Amino acid sequence: MKIAHILSLIMLLLLLLLAGIGFQRFRGDAEVGKRLAENNCGVCHDMTPNRKNGKGPYLWEIYNRPAGVVDFPFSPAFRKLAEEKPFLWDDDHLERWLLNPTAFIPQTRMAQHSKEHPVSFDGMQSSGNRKDLIFYLKSLQ
């Protein structure tokens, strides 16, 4: 094989590798998403098929689930929105919710802390992290 052939083969392999990495970023990274979910959501949300409620409702099969339908004592603000303007937890809604829950539903309990529940979730600033997290949430089914 000529050296030029070998070089173009190497270039081709490099291109394929880069395309693969690009594709991975486009789809989101489920491993990173899982870690983010465990660290940021796990204290309040069960993400297993056990479907146990914690401070928050269980998140198994959350992707494309209608908001507020599981048997959980949602806050009045959350219930009002889910009843008056029902919506599904698709990419757009998860994205808005995870960026800033109080901007989405001002009185939501997810962002409030109390004596019984000292932790709260104020939002995730990194768009890359939100993408990875949502990618992982889709796998919970």
- x/- letters, 2..41, toward ligand HEC (CB under 6 A): --------------------------------------xx
**Residues contacting residue 105 through CB under 8 Å, at least 6 positions apart:** 75, 77, 78, 81
For residue 81, count other CB atoms closer than 10 A to its CB: 20
Nearest to 92 by CA among 58, 67, 56, 59: 67
Q: State yes or no: residue 75 binds ligand HEC (CB under 6 A).
A: yes
Q: CB under 6 A: which stretch of 5-13, 14-22, 26-34, 65-73 binds ligand HEC?
A: 65-73
Q: Does 70 bind ligand HEC (CB under 6 A)?
A: yes
What are 141's two structure tokens?
């089914």
CB of 109 to ligand HEC, least distance (A): 4
Q: Is 99 in the site for ligand HEC (CB under 6 A)?
A: no
Instruction: Supply the minimum distance, in Å, between the C-beta of residue 23 and ligand HEC.
Output: 24
The C-alpha atoms of residue 45 and residue 120 are separated, in whole angstroms, by 12
Rg, Å, the chain Cα set: 20
Of 5-13, 17-25, 26-34, 60-68, the window that binds ligand HEC (rule: CB under 6 A) is 60-68
- The answer to whether 131 touches 91, Cβ cutoff 8 Å, is no
Among 35, 55, 96, 138, binds ligand HEC (CB under 6 A): 55
